[in-house]
Amino acid sequence: MNDRWRYLLERLIQAAVCVWGVSVIIFCITHFIGDPVQLLMPAEASQADRLAYQQALGLDKSAFERYIIFFANVLQGDLGQSYRFNTPVLALIWDKFPATFELAVAAIVFAIIVGVGSGILCAIRPNTWWDHCFEWLSLSGMAAPTFWVGIMLIMFFSVELRWLPTSGRSGLASLVLPAITLGWYSTAVISRMTRSTLLETLETDFIKTSVLKGAPSHIIIFKHCLKFMLPTLLTIISLQFVTLLAGAVITETIFSWPGIGRLLIQSAYGGDYPVVQGITVVCSIIFVLIQLAVDVVQFFLDPRIGHRQ
């Protein structure tokens, strides 16, 4: 038991270290690679404003002191002020987050249904034309860039067939194409992983035993195998979900989806660097927390985790 709790504690510390490390990296980028006054002030700011800001940033102080100020601000949720909108960055992010979250959830649901489904179909009939067909499909899924898939989908379903809207966020119909675009890559990954994990699971002794005992195949696949595969699938899916949140940058740009990704790109174009920096910090922290949450859930679901051999 001791080992297990120590594992959990180590995992928590690791997450904390990650959050801290992210703040260091972002600080270094803005303060050493770039020129913070130039990046964090609007281009049309006056010389006096610049000097005042330099003072406020504490550029006369040592790098270490400056970092402490930055980190303390991040911990208090103060990520600076957007100069295009003149509001705190955090408020802006909160405002746009639901749209991105909705899109990412829709995409992952699509990816899970199609990916896990096709993966199972391939694994129970390996090396059939069906299996090869899906192998090609998922290889293509991994090679086709998101933005191209999105544009092709718009061309076909919106321009040619006029079934679905090309852009914007208005109801369920407008969610379909962005979700498929965003989930495309993950679907391919999940499908491949489900296939190979299920093939491995079918080779285990406990599954062979239930086959020999004459259990019906749907019970074997859906009850025994899926339950056994769940931890692996959960890890893959959570990793994919995390990449989806980031991948939303491109998808939102194509479909003019009013989420964080589009805000990020518009801020990058508009030179609104505090927003760019803030979104990166917040998203990275969300990433770390999601992965931590998945590990904690797994820890309580799977009693084997944390025992050292």
Partner 1 sequence: MTLLNLRSANLKIQITLFVLIVFVILGLFGAWLAPYDPTQQDLSQALAPPFWHAGGTTAHLLGTAPLGQDILSGIMVGAQVSLLVSLCAVALSGLFGVFIGLVAGYRGGWVDTVCMRVADIQLSIPFILLAIVMIGAMGPKLSNVIFVIAVTNWVTYAKVVRTETMRLRERDFVKSARVSATPTGLILLRHILPNVINSIVVIATLDIGKVIIFESGLSFLGLSVQPPTPSWGAMLADGRKYISIAYWPSMFPGIAIFVVVLCFNFLGNFLRTIWDPQSKH
The yes or no reply on residue 249 touching partner 1 (CB under 8 A) is yes
- For partner 1, which is the closer residue by CB, 215 or 266? 266
The yes or no reply on residue 154 touching partner 1 (CB under 8 A) is yes
User: Distance (Å, rounded) from C-alpha 180 to C-alpha 103?
Assistant: 10
| List of residues 6+ apart from 74 with CB closer than 8 A | 23, 281
CB 236 within 8 A of CB 115: no
- For partner 1, which is the closer residue by CB, 14 or 217? 14
The yes or no reply on residue 8 touching partner 1 (CB under 8 A) is no
- Answer for which of 144, 215, 221, 296 binds partner 1 (CB under 8 A) is 144
The values of phi and psi at residue 302, to 5°, are -115, 105
- For partner 1, which is the closer residue by CB, 28 or 113? 28
CB 299 within 8 A of CB 7: yes
Q: What's the min distance (Å) between Cβ of 213 and partner 1?
A: 27
User: Distance (Å, rounded) from C-alpha 90 to C-alpha 118?
Assistant: 40
Query: DSSP character for 169?
Result: -
- For partner 1, which is the closer residue by CB, 51 or 151? 151
**Crossing angle (nearest 10°) for helices 226-255 and 260-270:** 40
Positions in the binding site for partner 1 (CB under 8 A): 14, 17-19, 21-22, 24-26, 29-30, 33-34, 39, 139-140, 142-148, 151-152, 154-155, 159, 196, 199-200, 242-243, 245-247, 249-250, 253-254, 264-265, 268-269, 273, 276-277, 279-280, 283-284, 287-288, 291
